[in-house]
C-alpha cells in the first residue's frame, strides 16, 4: 500500500540524530525502563525485512524496543536466504531488550514476501494479540500504547492508525479504483467499509481472521504482494470489523528506504485494483452490501 514520501530535510536530519542518541542510550544502559501492556493475552509485535532494507532496519527495531508500553516479544521474520545477510547489530539485539522483559527474536520462515510479517506469527502465536509493523518506519515512543488504548475488549475488531474507506461509484454497485478510496483522517470510519493500511501499524486480536488466512496456496495466487487486501478479506469473512484510532500517526520512512518497496509495484502498476478484482471473483464481496 502507498506510504508517505519523505524528502531528506532538516526534519529527517533531526530524526536521525534522535535515533542515534537513543541508540547510544540503549546500548549504554542495555535495559531501558518500560511498562508491559495490559491486554488479557500475550502480545507480539511482528515485522519482516529483506536484504535491500537491512541498512535501516536497526533504527526501526530500536524505535519499537523503546516504546513506553511494550509487548512480550518482538519478532523479526526473515527468509533463509536473507538471514545470513542481517547486520551484526541486529543479531546482538537478540534476547531481553528492556526492563519489562520483552524478548527480541529473529525467526527464519518461508519467503512469502510481505506475508512474512504476519502469517508465521498467526501460525505460531495463535492465542496472542499481534501488532504488525513495517521495517522502514520510525515509530515514536507513544505509538504502541496509543494503539493498545483503543482496544476495549472486542476481539472481532481490527484496530489501525491508518484506514481508507472502501468507496463505491454512484450506482453503489461497483467499486471505485483503490486510489480513489476515501482516506480517513478521523476515527469515524465505517466499521464495515474501513480498510486498514499496514504502514501505520495494525492490532489483530486473537482469532479475528478467517482460518483461510494462512493458506499460502491461495493468497500467493489471488493477492500476491498486496497483503493488506488479503487481510481485509480475511477479517470481513470472519465477521471482524475495522476501528481507526482517534489519534493520527504520520508515517515517516527512513531516507532511501522507499527506493525499494511495495508502492512501486502495487500503486504505480495498479496491482491493488487487479488483486481486488481477483479477490472478488474468488470470494465475492465480504461485506453486507448490495453489490
Q: Nine-digit cell at 188?
A: 469515524
What's the confidence (pLDDT) of residue 269?
Answer: 63
Domains, the chain, ranges and CATH? Answer: 31-283 (3.90.550.10)
The C-alpha angle 51, 55, 57, rounded to 5 degrees, equals 85
Helix/strand number for the chain, H first, E second: 10, 13
- 22 or 195: which leads in pLDDT: 195
Unique residue bearing C-alpha cell 488483486: 275
Q: Which of 162-176, 188-202, 214-228 has the lowest mean pLDDT?
A: 162-176
Please tell me what DSSP assigns to residue 137.
B
Instruction: Report CA dihedral (102, 104, 109, 115) to the nearest 10 degrees.
Output: 70
Confidence of residue 99 (pLDDT cuts 50, 70, 90): confident
What's the confidence (pLDDT) of residue 270?
Answer: 80
Question: 0.85 exceeded by the pTM?
Answer: yes
Mean pLDDT, range 55-70, rounded to an integer: 93
Mean pLDDT, range 158-182, rounded to an integer: 91
Q: Which of 35-49, 111-125, 154-168, 265-279 has the lowest mean pLDDT?
A: 265-279
pLDDT exceeds cutoff 60 at 1: no
Alpha helices in the chain, H assignment, sequence order = 10-29, 57-65, 80-83, 88-92, 119-124, 143-149, 216-222, 227-237, 262, 271-283
Per DSSP, the residues of 254-265 read PTTGGGSSHIII
Are the C-beta atoms of residues 184 and 194 closer than 8 Å to each other?
A: yes
pLDDT exceeds cutoff 50 at 101: yes
How far apart are alpha carbons 50 and 52 in whole angstroms? 6
Mean pLDDT, range 162-187, rounded to an integer: 90
Confidence of residue 5 (pLDDT cuts 50, 70, 90): very low
Unique residue bearing C-alpha cell 481508507: 164
Q: Which of 195-209, 236-250, 254-268 has the lowest mean pLDDT?
A: 254-268
Confidence of residue 291 (pLDDT cuts 50, 70, 90): very low
**Mean pLDDT of the chain, nearest integer:** 88
What's the confidence (pLDDT) of residue 187?
Answer: 84
pLDDT exceeds cutoff 60 at 160: yes
**What are the residues whose beta carbons fall under 8 Å from the beta carbon of 259, sequence distance 6 or more?**
52
pLDDT exceeds cutoff 80 at 256: no
Are the C-beta atoms of residues 191 and 159 closer than 8 Å to each other?
A: no
pLDDT exceeds cutoff 90 at 146: yes
Please tell me what DSSP assigns to residue 177.
P
Amino acid at each position: 500500500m502507498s506510504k508517505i514520501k519523505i524528502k531528506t530535510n532538516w526534519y529527517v536530519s533531526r530524526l536521525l540524530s534522535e535515533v542515534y542518541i537513543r541508540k547510544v542510550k540503549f546500548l549504554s544502559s542495555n535495559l531501558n525502563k518500560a511498562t508491559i501492556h495490559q491486554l488479557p493475552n500475550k502480545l507480539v509485535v511482528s515485522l519482516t525485512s529483506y536484504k535491500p532494507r537491512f541498512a535501516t532496519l536497526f533504527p526501526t527495531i530500536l524505535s519499537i524496543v523503546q516504546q513506553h508500553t511494550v509487548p512480550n516479544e518482538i519478532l523479526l521474520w526473515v527468509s533463509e536466504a536473507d538471514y545470513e545477510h542481517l547486520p551484526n547489530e541486529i543479531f546482538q539485539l537478540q534476547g531481553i531488550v528492556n526492563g519489562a522483559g520483552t524478548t527480541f527474536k529473529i525467526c527464519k520462515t518461508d519467503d512469502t514476501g510481505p506475508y512474512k510479517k504476519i502469517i508465521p506469527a498467526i501460525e505460531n502465536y495463535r492465542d496472542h494479540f499481534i501488532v504488525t509493523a513495517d521495517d522502514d518506519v520510525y515509530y515514536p515512543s507513544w505509538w504502541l500504547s496509543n494503539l493498545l488504548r483503543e482496544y476495549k475488549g472486542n476481539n472481532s475488531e481490527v484496530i489501525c492508525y491508518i484506514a481508507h474507506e472502501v468507496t463505491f461509484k454512484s450506482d453503489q454497485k461497483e467499486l471505485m479504483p483503490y486510489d480513489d478510496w476515501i482516506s480517513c483522517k478521523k476515527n469515524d470510519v465505517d466499521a464495515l467499509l474501513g480498510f486498514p493500511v499496514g504502514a501505520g501499524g495494525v492490532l489483530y486480536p486473537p482469532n479475528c481472521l478467517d482460518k483461510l488466512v494462512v493458506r499460502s496456496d491461495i493468497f500467493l495466487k489471488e493477492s500476491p504482494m498486496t497483503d493488506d487486501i488479503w487481510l481485509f478479506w480475511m477479517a470481513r469473512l470472519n465477521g471482524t470489523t475495522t476501528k481507526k484510532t482517534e489519534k493520527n500517526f504520520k508515517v515517516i520512512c527512513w531516507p532511501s528506504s522507499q527506493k525499494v518497496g511495495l508502492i512501486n509495484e502495487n500503486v504505480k502498476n495498479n496491482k491493488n485494483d487487479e488483486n481486488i478484482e481477483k479477490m472478488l471473483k474468488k470470494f465475492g464481496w465480504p461485506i453486507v452490501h448490495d453489490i
